[in-house]
Structure 1
């Protein structure tokens, strides 16, 4: 019964994903909140979190994703669309900053790999990374399908 409820909740939340692609559907914050709830349900299901693990895992994971999101924002800020508009010194500085941020991202991944192992078993940690990739792929596929984007190639894997 518990499995059935979790599966139905997961299906309901994943059905809400196309709303993310709809302009004006509940505002950006509402759509992002729906997406985050769907991700929580998806990851919880895929890595088989117990209630005790979930209470300890989600604060750590949320901290990790906030730090990773900040690094990604900073990486986007260092990118330039037109390197020809910059001096060579500016291009070098931009690329150096991007590399430093990528290194910070690797360091963050290592740090939280260790933290996740304090809450999850190693198999669950592996499933976590896989679930993140699968969830992202599914969201991209559904948004592209909803917007009439290019069809995805069936049968592709990670």
Structure 2
């Protein structure tokens, strides 16, 4: 069973990262995002060892958390895309204040859902969840970089810059 789950998410992950983003239609991009999401579900389900009962309770809560976290991250990216040279000092100060407020909202959201996750999962499973999210993200980034030929510089697992 573990082998099937691992193979399933690996296949979906590879299929997802193998496309060229510039050549995609919006429908194709959405399909790839759905594949990536399915791979993430399979990965987390395996790593956290969710029972069927836990999965039925967990995934709606996790999806709600992910949606809210994604919205906060979208707002943060919007703040970063502004050309600082075109802004006054007050506008920069206001933008930095908004960024700090968004980070506070993200921490508050994480604390709220930490409590919700504990009502569904054991504390060990919650810990595994956070680790699995990081591992999945690292794996996706690594595979995207590998598909692009490893262009540019990257960090080694120890955090050192690799030329």
Q: Are the aligned partners of 1:17 and 1:142 in contact in 2 as well (CA < 8 Å)?
A: no
After superposition, residues 53-132 of structure 1 pair within 5 angstroms as 53-132=54-133
Shift of 1:133: 0.5
What stretches of structure 1 of length at least 5 have no aligned partner?
none
Bigger mean CA offset, 25-34 vs 141-150: 25-34
Q: How many residues align?
A: 156
Number of the residue aligned with 1:24: 24
CA contact under 8 A between 2:16 and 2:36: conserved in structure 1?
Answer: yes
Work out whether residues 43 and 131 of structure 1, in 8 Å CA contact, stay in contact via their aligned partners in 2.
yes
| Distance in 1, Cα, partners of 2:54 & 2:85 | 51
**CA 1:67/1:20 → structure 2, altered by over 3 Å: closer, same or farther?**
farther
Q: Provide the rounded CA distance (Å) in 1 between the counterparts of 2:39 and 2:106.
A: 25
Q: Kindly provide the CA deviation profile for residues 70-121 of structure 1, in whole angstroms up to 9, marking residues without a partner as x.
A: 0001111122443222111111110100000000000000000000001110
Shift of residue 12 of structure 1? 2.4
Shift of 1:135: 0.5
Residue number in structure 1 paired with 2:50: 49
Moved more, 101-110 or 2-11: 2-11
List structure 1 runs of 4+ shifted beyond 6 angstroms. Answer: none
TM-score by length of 2: 0.86
Q: 5+ unaligned residues in a row in structure 2: which ranges? A: none
Deviation at 1:20, TM superposition (A): 4.7
Shift of the 78–152 alpha-carbon distance from structure 1 to 2, 3 Å rule, reads closer
